[in-house]
Amino acid sequence: MAADMEVVGLILEENTERLNKTVSVLKSEYTTIRAGRANPHVLDKVQVDYYGQMTPISQVGNMSVQEGRCLVIAPWDKSTLKNVEKAILAANIGLTPTNDGTVIRLVFPELTEERRKEIVKQVKRMAEDSKVAARNIRRDTLDKLKKMNKNKELTDDEYTGFETDVDKEVNKAIEAIDKASSEKEKDIMTV
């Protein structure tokens, strides 16, 4: 039975890791959503052709926020300005870069009430997708435990106890998803 408990421990550990990853992926996706204020994380997925190598934009220069609505990108090598500008345009993030020969400026426009509501819907949709993923993780974990129960590797009581543990972990992840979602909604709706 000791070997079986080791297997159960690994199953439960994998469950927790997958749930934590689901929550962290959602949070990182939320950082890339524009909320009307300049946010360098909007550019997290932008890759620049930097001397023939695709490089994250954050590694080709300094990024700073000016006056709350303007993001300034100052590449370390001024010859890469055109490539940085092209990469931002190709990323299709809804912002048009302004190149003045030394830095690139991205001005974040004020969001309309209608646009804020659209973004909130997107945030809720992303949260719901994450909840579905968490429930799928629960299903997968419980299927593995049911199989062990069916093969007499676990007693019914042990299975029920582990099922409760899995449910607690999933509920904790769903609470974290709800919290992240409501914080992002509040952030977006704040003018």
Domain borders along the chain are 2-32+112-189, 40-107
Measuring CA to CA, how many Å separate 34 from each of 1, 70, 97, 100, 116?
53, 12, 15, 24, 10
CATH of domain 2-32+112-189: 1.10.132.20
Per-residue model confidence as pLDDT tens digits over 23-37:
999 998 888 776 767
**Across 76-89, average pLDDT:** 89
CATH of 40-107, one of 2.60.40.1120, 3.30.1360.40, 3.40.50.2000, 3.20.190.10: 3.30.1360.40
Per-residue model confidence as pLDDT tens digits over 84-102:
889 988 888 778 888 888 8
Percent pLDDT > 90 in the chain is: 39
User: Do the domains spanning 2-32+112-189 and 40-107 agree at the CATH topology level?
Assistant: no
Overall residue count recorded for the chain in this entry: 191
